[in-house]
Copies of this chain bind each other. A is one copy, B any other.
């Protein structure tokens, strides 16, 4: 199917700038979940969904859900509208505005106005209270205990919902007989597309994330009177381990693997004391479970070697809540790739997502597809986050084209 849907790029950009106004701070946006700015944005988004011909509500956890009056099959399209504590203006917001722009563009085109586009602006993807709150609720994975456990600076989700007036509002749930898939567009948040000079990334998977806490136990001593040969210096052991760790990880890494020691410290941490203990946290990500296993094995091997060599004891504990890699649906991927090739021939690629997104939660319940547009300088979670206007419009055009193709195929089936 050729590119039959024409979105209105200027309307999209204008509305994105209006949305930016909710919580605008310098070039960035401060719109954490359940803040006044966040709730004001959600009310405005609900109005835009209504104006696009959808039956729209803010549900019991803050999700803004727009339901097309058209019958199944429906595609759910969206992203989140909350931001990081000091966030950029496109992270989440762009994908939400794409959904609304696609809903109204398809409604306004006689060839597509019978297609059912449901839209969503998820609540708290960024985890001000708990990551992917809205999508977890939508698939029935959020328990009453979660509502009381998760909190932001002491305020539970339940208390926040009460505060913003949603305590007696029902929560929207996935309609499996109706929604055949979920599409989300997002800024890449990395430099791959920009570096390669490409306009579109079709996401193959969202990387899995694991962490391991590595603890070194030696013997605390006086830094003057303890001879080098008698020391069991936990810090020196950690430095050697850290240096070697990078070599070992590189040896087993896949082409898109990343690993980071983002935190490390010595105990007690005084210039005149030989450290008695030390600790580092290694986080590693890859789209492939087998590669994650190989990275974990490399850590275990180095831990064992370090213990054998002495004189410091090392142990490694897996971090809580590892995230398994999430594969995007092959059919949705194929439609997104074909739409990209039609719209920007040769200027797109398939790639994993190195950051987390709501499809991590949704993909166990309905097929998911994701699309990336380039991030200038690869920057995100920062006021400096930005993308070129042309890239923003192109991304929406590709997603609209894919949406029409997917629903057209589903209607024929």
Best-surrounded residue of A238, A243, A245, A355 (most CB of chain B within 10 A): A243
Q: Are A239 and B233 in contact (CB under 8 A)?
A: no
Given contacts A263-B270, A270-B263, A271-B211, whether A355 and B246 have CB atoms under 8 Å apart is no
Q: Are B263 and A191 in contact (CB under 8 A)?
A: no
| Residue A130 at the chain B interface, CB threshold 8 Å | no
Given contacts A230-B191, A242-B243, A246-B239, whether A263 and B256 have CB atoms under 8 Å apart is no
Q: Which of these, B190, B225, B243, contacts A240 with CB under 8 Å? A: B243
Q: This chain: how many copies in the complex? A: 2
Q: Are B223 and A283 in contact (CB under 8 A)?
A: yes
* Chain A: number of interface residues, binned into ranges: 35 or more
Q: Are A253 and B275 in contact (CB under 8 A)?
A: no
Best-surrounded residue of A235, A261, A275, A378 (most CB of chain B within 10 A): A261
A260: nearest chain-B partner, CB-CB: B223
A355: chain B residues within 8 A (beta carbon): 222, 224-225
Q: Which of these, B228, B238, B264, B281, contacts A257 with CB under 8 Å? A: B228
Q: Are B225 and A354 in contact (CB under 8 A)?
A: yes
Interface residues of A in 29-71 (CB under 8 A from B): none
Q: Which of these, B242, B250, B271, contacts A262 with CB under 8 Å? A: B271
| Residue A72 at the chain B interface, CB threshold 8 Å | no
Q: Are A233 and B260 in contact (CB under 8 A)?
A: yes
| Residue A272 at the chain B interface, CB threshold 8 Å | yes
For the complex, what is the distance from the CA of A209 to the CA of B241, rounded to whole Å? 28
A257: chain B residues within 8 A (beta carbon): 228
For the complex, what is the distance from the CA of A244 to the CA of B227, rounded to whole Å? 19
Q: Are A236 and B265 in contact (CB under 8 A)?
A: no
Q: How far is the CB of A250 from chain B (nearest CB, A)?
A: 8
A147: chain B residues within 8 A (beta carbon): none
| Residue A269 at the chain B interface, CB threshold 8 Å | yes
Q: Are B266 and A266 in contact (CB under 8 A)?
A: no
Q: Are B192 and A227 in contact (CB under 8 A)?
A: yes
Q: How far is the CB of A221 from chain B (nearest CB, A)?
A: 8
Q: Are A266 and B269 in contact (CB under 8 A)?
A: no
| Residue A285 at the chain B interface, CB threshold 8 Å | yes
For the complex, what is the distance from the CA of A244 to the CA of B264, rounded to whole Å? 18
Q: Which of these, B230, B274, B378, contacts A225 with CB under 8 Å? A: B378
Interface residues of A in 200-228 (CB under 8 A from B): 207, 209, 211, 221-228
Q: Are B274 and A269 in contact (CB under 8 A)?
A: no
Q: How far is the CB of A316 from chain B (nearest CB, A)?
A: 14
A–B complex contacts, Cβ < 8 Å, 27 sampled = A189-B225, A191-B225, A209-B224, A211-B271, A222-B380, A222-B381, A223-B260, A226-B258, A227-B256, A236-B261, A238-B239, A239-B239, A239-B241, A239-B242, A239-B245, A240-B243, A242-B242, A242-B243, A243-B244, A260-B272, A262-B266, A262-B269, A263-B266, A263-B269, A263-B270, A265-B265, A271-B319
Which 9 residue pairs of A and B lie closest in terms of their CB atoms, listed nearest first?
A239-B242, A190-B225, A243-B243, A223-B260, A224-B354, A189-B225, A225-B354, A262-B271, A224-B355
